[in-house]
Structure formats: structure tokens, C-alpha cells
Structure 1
Amino acid sequence: MKLTWKSVLISGMGVFSDGYNLYSLSLMIYTISAFIPMTKITEGLLVAGSYLGAAVSALLFGLISDIEGRKKMYGIDVTLMAIGAALQALSQNYSELFLSRLLLGMGVGADYVLSPIIVAENAEKQKRGRAMVITFAVMWGLGAVLAAFVDQLTLQLPQSLAWRIVLGLGAVPALSVIFARRKLTETLLFLSKVRPDEKEIRDLEKEGVNVKIDIDKGSFRERFMSSLFLVIISAVLWLLYDIYSSTFAIYGPITIAYNLGITPIMFTYIAQFFAGIPGQLLCIFLIDKIGRKPLIVIGYTGVSIWLILYSLLLLDPSLFGLYETGKLTGEGAVLGLTFYMLNYLFSAMGPASIIGSGMVTPELVHTKIRGTSQAISVAVDRTASATVISLFPSLVSIIGLGGMVGIYGIVALLSALITLFLVPETKGQELDRVKRVVTKI
């Protein structure tokens, strides 16, 4: 369906922007600290700034999208992202930089509510999983790769200028789709289930889409209460995923790369091209064939195994026949990189591409409450992630990188069990059909 892939392209650029902006800060954080003094606490808060902004905006945009429609707010999200990204490059002190990250995060939070919903509500059931993985997991990863490439291009420039260019260019991908998002039609399901609009329906019919009106007679409260358990489970799953994945995304290129003896740029390329992208391709190929649950459970089990092995290597290299040092070198570095890449591959194959794509909530709840439900997931996730990210530098200094990696391995195992026992399968089902199934739970 033309509508499916049009939604993927227009929505994906917002996620691409998020990948670029999150990763660019991770690559430049220590460069920035040379010009804008920061303590461990203020550094953590700066990194968490976009998450705090996202938590606030998600709730507002989610509620409005259920009342006024998805299209009404679409385009405003990437506008906020573009302004926030541009203001980073002009910041003269910590307060200005923090506020620009906060504004950037408000755009990201809005986008993480609207884009998954728009793709889900416009996609064919047989292609919905594939479409959402491409929109989010693939586009986010490509944004991260571009951030590393831009960083590499600025290596010969003065550092005082380089970090401003790297952060400021994050406005470009967001700016590229503002107009296209404003012109996108209202989603197929919102028009058919919540609020029909003759002009929007005519626009969809011109694209060859047949809109069948079937208004949901249930009240907002009724629909929300019947889905509350799954809303909570979805929020917890996303929260647990981001607790470790966002920390790795931000501090991985510096902390882990240093521990393994490679540069942050090289670490980014290796992670994406040898683990991230291959894992995403596997997910794209399998998600609409074997389903969401098997990929999440298998992926998280692999993540747990490889992170625990990596943790043991960091805590006691002698377990692997290696000499203990403060930094992995030689065979230890190769083994550490192998463990980390296998963790990344399994994550991309399942949880990163499905949970990290914000796919769980939109597929499980009613159209009438989809925006609010997704907003709750985003707000809970971003608030918890902001807290963990803020504390990460301090926690690493207390319990060490090995201890933190071990904790993340346990979190992955817990997430696999929650998915296995509490999350319904949605493969190949119309969103309406999924609603009838989960209402019985």
C-alpha cells in the first residue's frame, strides 16, 4: 500500500533526527565539557535534558492526538526538534545548552507519540511490523551513523567549533520533513473509528485507500480502563529497555570504546554495521513471519547472556584466563568487543527493533485511546531513563562499569520473562482484532 510506505518515509525522518541528536551529544560530551565546565551531576543532567523534555511533551501531544487527531500536531514535533538542535550550536553557557536540549527533547517526545501511531494506523496488517521496524530501528541507527560521520569530518577543525557544528546539524533532517508532515492526511483508523472528516477521506480515496466508517461507540474511560493492564506492561517494558539501551547509546561510544581501546567513531561504525544493521535486517525479515514475542524473548535472552559474560570479563578477567588490568587490552579487548557486539546484535534482532520502536503500545490498545496510552509509555520511559542517565557517571565511579553491565544483563532477562508471560502476540492481526483479543485478558 502506497500509504504505508509514505508514512514510513515521512515519520522515519523524525526518528532519524533523534538518532543523530542523541548520538551526537554522546560523541561530543567530553569535548563540550572542555569549554563549558560541568560536574558529574550537571553532565548527567545535560545528557538527560532531552529525556526530561520528552516526558513533558509526550503527555500533552498524546492527549491532543486522541481529541483532535494525529495530523493536527504532526510537524510541530520536528519543528521543536529543529529549533532545539539549532540552539545547541549557539549556546554560550550550561544553562543555554541545557534549555536547548530540553526543547529538543520536547520535539522528540511528541514524535515518539505521534510517529508510531501514524505508521501503525496506516499500515497493512501483513506489513505493519516491517514498516515500524524500518521507521524506527533502522532510521534511528542511520541517524547515529551520520552523527559519527559528521564528527569524523570535523576532526581537523578547532574543537571549540567542531562540537557546535556536530550538534547544530541535527536541525537539518528535522527541517526536511516539516512541510511533508503538515500535508500528510489523517490516519485511516482515526477517520474510520473516531472522527470521520469528509475532506480527509476524499484525500485518502484519491490515493486509492478505501475508508470504511465503523465508529467506536465505547467511551474513552471504558476503553482506557479495559486496556490499563497492557498500558502498564507496555510502559514497564519500554522503561526497562531504555534503562540500559539509552545509557549505552549515550555513554557507549566513550566509556565502552575507551575500555576496549578504540575510538568512539570507530566504535559507532563497528556497532552499527556489524551488529545493529544485521540485527535489524533479521528483524525485518522475521517479524511478520514468526511474530513479535519470539523475537523479543530470543533477543533479550541473548542480550542477558552476552552482557553477563561481558560483566564477568570486566569484573574478573582471570575467569577467562586473562591478566587483570584497569583496561581491557589485546585478547581481552577482542573478547570484550565480541561480547558487546553479540549483545548488540541480539538486541537489534528483537527488543531494540520492536520495543525501542515504540511498537508495543500502539498494537495493543484501542484507537480511541492510542495517543494517550503511547504518551504514558513515553513519559514513564523518558522520566526513568533521565534519572538513570543522570546518575550513570556517578554509579560507574561507585560500582564500576562491570557492575553496571551486569545489572543491565539482569534487566534484560526480566524483560524477556515479562514479554513471554504477559504480552499478547499481534502478528498478522488487524489492530481492531488485537483489541478484541486483549480486552478479554
Structure 2
Amino acid sequence: MSTTPPPSAVDLDDKAGTDRPPDDDGAFGWLRALGPRGRRAFAGAFGGYALDSYDYFTLPLSMVALSAYFGLNSGQTGLFTTVTLVVSAVGGAVAGVVADRIGRVKALMITVITYAVFTVACGFAPNYETLLVFRALQGLGFGGEWAVGAILVAEYATAKNRGRTLGAIQSSWAVGWGLAVIVYTLVFQFMDDDIAWRVMFFTGALPALLVVYVRRNVHDAPEAAAERERSTEKGSFTAIFKPDLLRTTLFAVLLSTGVQGGYYTLATWVPTYLKEDRGLTVVGTGGYLTLLISGAFLGYLTGGYLTDKLGRKRNITLFAFLSGACIAAYTNIPDGANGLLLVLGFPLGFCMSAIFSGFGSFLSELYPAAVRGTGQGFTYNTGRAVGAVFPTTVGFLADSWGVGGALIFGAFGYALAVVALLGLPETRGRELL
């Protein structure tokens, strides 16, 4: 144990602020309880994850245009997603270690800059192979942003409200997704497809503005930072595989694999399904996705509330079952029943997003401060990489089964997540030390 003396109570009060209100009840009590510094951290993490989502969806939304431009089959287009998610595992795991070593805020800025630069680079790609490389490099930043931002906010949040606070952070994914759909609809309405997909990637430069805000206004939670400094166990991959954390790490990876395998299958292929199997126009696809995204936004917020009320494990179990049921219903609607397809989009988006709301708090609470970034970054993003097999599998199956039929494969991931919970403890109410 380090001999560095802990900071005094006065020092901590000065850094963290005794401005954290004692009243954390009410609809926005969780936000008040963060205090001024915590709310600035929340804004930085919320914006970072929203723009992370925006940059991610520039590809799935442009998939049909890209396929036509480069003459790709379903397997090749599915490989874009797989490469992004596999490389994101590396980026996320490394970002977690970096966050434990140099701090959450510095790591957050690095990840945002990385995904922004390579999203823009995708717009300059002259061929399929180059685009695949740029998309893979974009995954480095994409993989790290969520884990780092979630930990930054989790360390400011109270135990009572951590679930809904992190659920609100997760809801920014739907905000970024919605923004991407709006920009996509406008760009593809007024530009030829051969140039529109490039413009979509160029708009990925937006996160540069966020970095300026984070650099000037956001700081690590001082109590957690002090705890990291006192510990001799700095972030490292070997630390999370030591006997006391090995079981947690393995089951957390399995949990992440299941949930993300199901999610990314849907996020990647639903736009293509609406176009190819349902024959919807660009505007029609945007309309259908509006309900899906609205459901996702409310799902994140509701799931965050329930993860505090029911517990982390019960919330995930509940929405794993509901998500699987929605997939089965969504992909078995009879031809011509597009009105029913529209109605089911809302509960599908709601359920597959609510399951994620507990992840930020759950994974943060499973690891001590000194290796929290490493643990969360590794487990979440390794699960993302293994789960990336799902969209590619759907891509290859789509050639023979059709996209709608192949999507049912995503339901398997949710069953896997429920099994993984058997090996993890309930952490509701746990303080972050």
C-alpha cells in the first residue's frame, strides 16, 4: 500500500465541493445529487456517448448506398460491423487501463478525438479495403468512450441513484442515433447516393467541439481519484484476472457478449431489413426508425430507474426476456402489415435499450477504484467483440434466409446474458471506494 497520505477533509471538500445537495429525491434528484462538478461531468459523458452513437450509425444507415457503390454482398457489409466491434474491444480495454493510470477525463478526450478523426477519414475512402481499415480504427475510440464516461459519472453519483444516473447517460445513445437518422434523411434526400454516404461520414467531425468543453470544464471525481493514487494496484489486465476478480471478469464478459450480440444484430440490420424486405423509401425508413429510437430513449431512462428499484440483475433478466420476445414478434409480422411493424418498433427499442441501463452502474460496482476502468473497459468491450460475431452471422444467413429471418439469431444473445447473471453478485446500494 502506498505511503502517500490521504488528502485532508478540507482538501476533499474543496475539490469535490460540499455543494452536493442532500436532497436526492424527486424526478431530478439524481441530477441535483451530482453537484456542480458532477453535472459538468455528466454533460461531458452524455455528449461524448451521443456523438459516439452518431458516428457509429453513419455506417449502418449508409449501408445500402455503400453496398451499391462498392458492389458488396451481405457478408462483406456485415464485416464492417464486425471489424468495428472487434477493434473496439481493443480500444475499450486499453482506454480502461489508460483511465486508471492518467485519469478519466484525459482518457475521455483521447477516445472522442480518435473516433471523430477516423469517422471523417471513412468519407475519403477510395475502395472497400480502405474503408474497412478506417472503420476499424474508428472502433478504437468508439470502444473506449462509453466505459470511460460511465466510470467518470458513476464515481460522482450516489449509491441510491447510480442506476438512473447511468441510465440517463445511456439514453444519449438514442439521442445520437436519432440525430444520425435526421441527418441521414436530409443528406440522402438532397444528394445522390454516391456522394451522400461520404457526406455522412464527414459530419462525424462534430465531436471536436465536445473536446473543447471537456478540457475546460470537466474533472475527475476527487474521492475516487485520491483512492486510485493511494493504491499500489494500478490499472492492468493481470489485476482483473487475479483470483479475487477472476470469476467476476469471466461472467461479466459473458453477460456483455449476450446483451451486445443481440443489440448490435438489430442496430446493424434493421435499416437494411426495412429497405430490402419491406421495400420502404428513405423517408419511410426514417419514420419507422423514429418510433424505434423513441422507444430506446424511454427504455434507457426507465431501465435506469428500475435498476435502482429492482436491482441490477433483475432489471437485466426482465428485459432480456422481453427483448427476445420482441425480436420474435418483430421479424414474424406478415407481409403487408407495415402498420403493425410500426407499432412494434416502439417496444422493441424500449426493451433492447432498457437492458443496457444497468450496465454502467453494475460493472462500475463490480471492481475497486484502482482497476475500475480496466475491469469495465475490458469486460464490456470484450463482450462487444465476441458479440460482433452475431451481425456477421446474420449477414451471411441473410443471403439464404432473408434479413428478417436471420435477425431471429439475435435472440440467442439475450438467453446467454441470463445465464451469465448466475455467476455475478447483486451490487445495488454498493458504495464506490
| TM-score bucket of the superposed structures, by smaller chain | 0.7 to 0.9
111 and 398 in structure 1: CA distance in 2 versus 1, 3 angstrom threshold: same
Report the number of matched residues: 391
Letter in 2 for 1:226: D
Per the TM alignment, residue 257 of structure 1 is displaced from its structure 2 partner at its CA by 5.3
1:329 equivalent in alignment to 2:333: no
CA distance in structure 1 between the partners assigned to 2:233 and 2:181 by the alignment = 48
Cα 1:218/1:80, change in 2 over 3 Å: closer
C-alpha contact (below 8 Å) 2:258/2:415 kept by paired residues: no
Q: Deviations over 1:41-64 (max 9, x none)?
A: 332222333223312222322223
Q: CA deviation at 1:140?
A: 0.7
Give the aligned partner of residue 243 of structure 1: 261
Structure 1 residue runs without a partner (length 5+): 196-214, 318-327, 433-441
**Separation of aligned partners in 2, 1:108 and 1:242:** 14
The equivalences for 1:347-386 within 5 A come to 347-348=352-353, 350-355=354-359, 358-386=360-388
Q: CA deviation at 1:247?
A: 1.6
Q: Which amino acid aligns with 2:301?
A: L
1:300 pairs with 2:334: no
**Cα distance, 1:42–1:186 mapped onto 2, change above 3 Å:** same
Q: Which ranges in structure 2 are unaligned for 5 or more consecutive residues?
A: 1-34
> Equivalents in 1 of 2:67, 2:321: separation in Å?
37
Summarize the Cα distance change of 1:344–1:359 in structure 2 as closer, same or farther, 3 Å threshold. Answer: same
Alignment of 1:269-288 (within 5 A): 269-273=290-294, 275-288=295-308
8 Å Cα contact 2:153/2:166 also seen in 1: yes
Match of 2:186 among 153, 160, 178: 153
Q: How much is the aligned-residue C-alpha RMSD, in angstroms?
A: 2.5
Q: Corresponding residue for 1:429?
A: 430
Contact 1:46–1:98 (CA<8 Å) still a contact in 2?
A: yes
Shift of 1:141: 0.4
- Could you tell me which of 396, 411, 416 is aligned with 2:413? 411
Look up the equivalent residue of 1:177 and give its one-letter code.
Answer: L
Alignment match, 2:90:
56
* Counterparts of 2:146 and 2:384, CA distance in 1: 10
The letter of the residue matching 2:356 is A
Measured against aligned partners, the alpha-carbon deviations of 1:4-40 in whole angstroms (never above 9, x if no partner) come to 3211110122211221122221111111222223243
Does the CA contact (< 8 Å) of 2:52 and 2:112 recur in 1? Answer: no
Q: Is the 8 A contact 1:347 1:353 kept in 2?
A: no
Within the candidate set 287, 291, 312, 1:266 is matched to 287
Tell me what 2:30 maps to.
Answer: none
SS at match of 1:426: coil
* Alignment deviations for residues 217-247 of structure 1 (CA, whole Å, 9 cap, x no partner): 7787677431221122111111111112112
What's the secondary structure of 1:34's corresponding residue? helix
Report if the CA contact (8 A) 1:240-1:415 is conserved. yes
Partner of 2:70, secondary structure, is: coil
User: What is the identity percentage for the equivalent residue pairs of Structure 1 and Structure 2?
Assistant: 22
Cα deviation, residue 427, structure 1: 2.6
Instruction: Indicate how the Cα distance of structure 1 residues 188 and 23 shifts in structure 2: closer, same or farther if over 3 A, else same.
Output: same
What's the counterpart of residue 247 of structure 2?
229
Correspondence list, 1:1-400, <5 A: 1-136=35-170, 138-154=171-187, 155-172=189-206, 174-183=207-216, 184-195=218-229, 215-216=230-231, 224-256=242-274, 258-262=276-280, 263-273=284-294, 275-311=295-331, 313=332, 328-330=335-337, 333-348=338-353, 350-355=354-359, 358-400=360-402
SS in 2 for 1:194: helix
Distance 2:66 2:239 in 1: 50
